[in-house]
A and B are shown apart, each in its own frame.
Chain A
Amino acid sequence: DGGITQSPKYLFRKEGQNVTLSCEQNLNHDAMYWYRQDPGQGLRLIYYSQIVNDFQKGDIAEGYSVSREKKESFPLTVTSAQKNPTAFYLCGSGQGWGQPQHFGDGTRLSIL
């Protein structure tokens, strides 16, 4: 079945630590996205990539980094510079920029 796989499902970060969230899709989608979801809020865009080897900052990119070396993969690193990382992180993909998105099951990140 085609879809988006995010791992891990739960992740705990220690003070000063960088952690990487994995996102893999087998939908052959060009566009991939990372969102952050906080309780009672909508999805806020962290980073997006319209094509391999290219990515752009979204609305809340500070403290995060990404790479897009393969079409299928778009990992997100939450760096120690992100002072409030506790949130639900969603990876999405779409056939093209602005097109309807499919989402993975998300990663819930907490601080130890």
Chain B
Amino acid sequence: GQQVMQIPQYQHVQEGEDFTTYCNSSTTLSNIQWYKQRPGGHPVFLIQLVKSGEVKKQKRLTFQFGEAKKNSSLHITATQTTDVGTYFCAGTGGTSYGKLTFGQGTILTVHP
């Protein structure tokens, strides 16, 4: 079945440093979605990417979808303590049509 791998599993940064998490799929994806889960909270939808090579920005967050639609990344510029949480990618496509397959998530810790 479809597998979505996410790295790194943990990332500790000093406030103001940049952060990137990477997502790789074993199969070509129809779309990829990114979610953020604050400690003790529930996942919150951030963005969806659909087109090959697509890049979207939300303030300090930049999301990219690879040309082959098998990988994606989330980059945060100049992290803040409010960025703390777990970032998940989730993809649909291939034989798992429509079903979201989640990556394991990257836990981001920001030290003030």
Alpha-carbon distance between A101 and B31 when the two chains are bound, in angstroms: 13
CB-based contact A45/B9 at 8 Å? no
Interface size on B, residues (CB 8 A): 24
Within B28-49, which residues are at the interface with A (CB < 8 Å)? 30-31, 33, 41-45, 48
Q: Which B5-47 residues have C-beta < 8 A from chain A?
A: 6, 9, 30-31, 33, 41-45
Q: How many residues of A contact B (CB 8 A)?
A: 20
Assess whether B30 is in contact with A98, with CB atoms less than 8 Å apart: yes
Q: Which of A12-20, A68-76, A78-86, A103-111 contacts B (4 or more CB under 8 A)?
A: A103-111
- A-B contacts counted at CB < 8 A amount to 47
Dominant secondary structure of chain B at its interface with chain A: strand
Task: Decide if B9 touches A100 in the complex (CB within 8 Å).
Answer: no
Q: Taking the complex as formed, is A43 at the interface, i.e. its CB lies under 8 A from any CB of chain B? A: yes
Given contacts A42-B102, A43-B88, contact A98 B31 (CB under 8 A): yes
Q: A41-B104, A45-B99, A103-B42 are in contact. List 8 more A-B contacts (CB 8 A).
A: A42-B6, A42-B102, A42-B104, A43-B88, A98-B99, A98-B100, A101-B45, A104-B42
Q: Which 7 residue pairs of A and B lie closest in terms of their CB atoms, listed nearest first? A: A42-B102, A98-B98, A103-B42, A97-B98, A100-B45, A43-B102, A98-B92
Chain B residues proximal to chain A, CB less than 8 Å:
1, 4, 6, 9, 30-31, 33, 41-45, 48, 88, 90, 92, 97-100, 102-105
